[in-house]
Amino acid sequence: MKPIDILLVEDNPADILLTEEAFEEAHFEHRLHIAKDGVEALSFLRGEGPHAGAPRPDVILMDLNMPRMGGLEVLDILKEDESLRSIPVIVLTTSRAENDIWRSYNLHANAYIPKPVSVSEFVDVIRSFGNFWFTKVALPSRR
């Protein structure tokens, strides 16, 4: 099985490190790419500037609350862009606000996962995420 390309859009260095460690412990072939805000995520997805030649991710894991451009704004742009809208977007955020959940799904997020507080629960969430998205779900082929 070829590695899955995952774009993590997250501004918090501790959450980035925790996510990297959780993916390593989940034991499935992957390449994790990091964008630290929405502007960088769009640059990565469009292959602009330092991201020229970046791979099209199989899935995007995105926080909502970030500097420069937040996750909801990115989600809105992605789902309006014909070349990017087929990439599944999973919101992975500390927010449990009902309004954020509704807005994410109204903007066509594929799932909304509140970040667990404990490290072991976070690893379990990532393991479950990987098992579902990369062994059960049929993803569109890369173009």
- Cβ pair 56, 27 in contact under 8 A: no
Phi-psi region of 27 (alpha: psi -120 to 50; beta: other; left: phi over 0): left
Please return the burial class of 18, using the count of CB atoms within 10 Å of its CB with bins 0-12, 13-18 and 19+.
Answer: middle
pTM over 0.85: yes
Give the tens place of pLDDT for each residue, 66-90.
888 999 999 999 989 999 999 999 9
12-16, 31-35, 100-104, 124-128: least confidently modelled range:
124-128
Nearest residue to 116 (alpha-carbon basis) of 92, 134, 97, 100 = 92
